[in-house]
Amino acid sequence: MYKYKFDSSSKKFLCPACGKKRFVRYIDANNNYLPEHLGKCDREANCCYEQKPDVAIEINLEALPKVLKYQKPDFINSYIVQQSLSGYDSNSFYQYLTTKFEENLVKTTFQKYCVGTSKHWGGSPVFWQTDLNGNVRSGKVVKYVDGDRVTKPFNHVNWAHKLLKLKDFNLVQVMFGSHCLKSYKGDVVCIVESEKTAMVMDMYCPGLLWLSIGSLTMLSYERLKFLKGFNIILYPDTDGDNKWKERAQAISSKIGQQIHVSELVKNQTILFNQKEGFDLADIVLGKVKMKCPPEKSDVEKAIQQLMVKNRAIDALIQTFDLDTNQATLKNHKL
């Protein structure tokens, strides 16, 4: 029986360290908040503030319930979900993807992953989270402009059950794309952070099953245990690489098999500030353009031409450790 735990609602507070409204506070067994400095900032890659309560905090044991009842997850009415699976002509994310892929392919992927259109924020996509039984837990509504998630002046993310004003809705999340597992014939499951990346990779590399965990902090044994037996490969964003490696090691010991962490994104963005959080979609969609090597000077070009004509020149430079940066051109035509 717990003495305290993180508030499981979606309510966030101002972080004492970074000042962003991304702070999750602790609550006691009676759902009362502990002091406001106790909690954790979910900006794990950029802030990392966390202050745990003292284990000696006094709890009124008499107020604790005798039996803790399991709360079943609530579901979104299937009619609402089906009604949203249209209006793609006004869906900003759909329209962007059609500039990168054939529209028939985009539409097929939207239907496969059960992605709808919301009137909220003028046609934002709804990433419905559908479990293995086909029940829709809720939908994440995210505003996109030119393929990028809008984060200013605030993070434009909301939930369908909130927009529908469903009271006392118990959200128990599953990985985006989980329902696709039932029809999947392969044995490799690839996990990325964002829903956008899962869909882009499904179109770019369709032979594999791509799932989205939703955020850096959501990677856990509880959410991955249903994949036991599959070859699981994680593709972390660059700002979460180390964190995902730590969690993969812990989850591997619990699940009883090795979970692999790819360094593909990290290696492909080595020339950039990786704290910005690049992902596979950034590479595929051309958001990250690799820097070209600097163009050679006329002197360097001349030396290269001379070495091609006479290999002894290269040996001469190496033997006497000549500094070619100090070389100048004289009576040499390129």
Question: Are 278 and 304 in a shared domain?
Answer: no
Q: Let me know whether 202 and 223 are in one domain.
A: yes
The pLDDT tens digits for 35-58 are 877 888 887 666 667 777 764 344
Give a yes or no: residue 289 inside a domain: no
What tokens were used for 134? 């086909």
Task: Based on the fold, state whether residues 57 and 91 are members of the same structural domain.
Answer: no
Verify that 235 and 273 share a domain, yes or no: yes
Q: Are residues 210 and 256 in the same domain?
A: yes
Residue 68 lies in a domain: no
Q: Domain for residue 73, yes or no?
A: no
- Specify whether the CB–CB gap between 174 and 211 falls below 8 A: no
The end-to-end CA distance of the chain, in Å, is 80
More confident residue, 158 or 302: 158
Angle between helix 311-319 and 298-309 (nearest 10): 120
191 and 133 in a common domain:
no
Listed in sequence order, the residues at least 6 apart from 117 whose beta carbon sits closer than 8 Å to its beta carbon are 84, 85, 86, 87, 88, 90, 91, 94, 123, 124, 125, 126
Is residue 202 a contact partner of residue 106, using CB atoms and an 8 Å limit?
Answer: no
- Domain around 27: 4-63
**Burial, 195: exposed, middle or buried (Cβ in 10 Å; 0-12, 13-18, 19+)?**
buried
Same domain? For 236 and 320 the reply is no
Q: Are residues 259 and 330 in the same domain?
A: no
What's the pLDDT band for 240 if we cut at 50, 70, 90?
Answer: confident
Where among 106, 138, 163 does a domain terminate?
163
- Provide the domain count of the chain: 4
pLDDT band of 318, cuts 50, 70, 90:
low
Please give the angle made by the CA atoms of 158, 164 and 166, to the nearest 5 degrees. Answer: 105
* Tens-digit pLDDT profile for residues 252-310: 999 999 999 999 888 887 767 766 778 889 888 886 554 344 455 666 667 676 666 66
Specify whether the CB–CB gap between 124 and 87 falls below 8 A: no
With respect to residue 274, please indicate whether it lies within any of the assigned structural domains.
yes
What whole-number percentage of the chain has pLDDT above 70?
77
State the CATH number of the domain containing residue 195. Answer: 3.40.1360
Residue 45 near residue 275, CB atoms below 8 Å: yes
Q: Is residue 69 part of a domain?
A: no
Per-chain mean pLDDT for the chain: 83
Residue at a domain's end among 163, 195, 221: 163
Closest CA to 128 of 98, 162, 91, 85: 85
Dihedral Cα 283, 289, 294, 296, nearest 10 deg:
80
Identify whether residues 185 and 280 lie together within a single domain.
Answer: yes
pLDDT of residue 121: 93
Q: CA angle 239-176-120, nearest 5°?
A: 90
The owner of tokens 């619990």 is: 254
SS3 178: helix
Mean pLDDT of 100-120: 96
Please tell me whether residues 146 and 202 are part of one structural domain. no
Structure tokens at 30: 């009676």
Q: From its phi and psi, is residue 126 left (phi > 0), alpha (psi between -120 and 50) or beta?
A: beta
Instruction: Please report whether residue 305 resides in a domain.
Output: yes
- 188-192 β-sheet, strand order: 209-212, 188-192, 231-234, 260-261
User: Is residue 71 domain-resident?
Assistant: no
The answer to whether position 174 is within a domain reads no
Do 57 and 123 belong together in one domain? no
Looking up tokens 């972390």, which residue turns up?
236
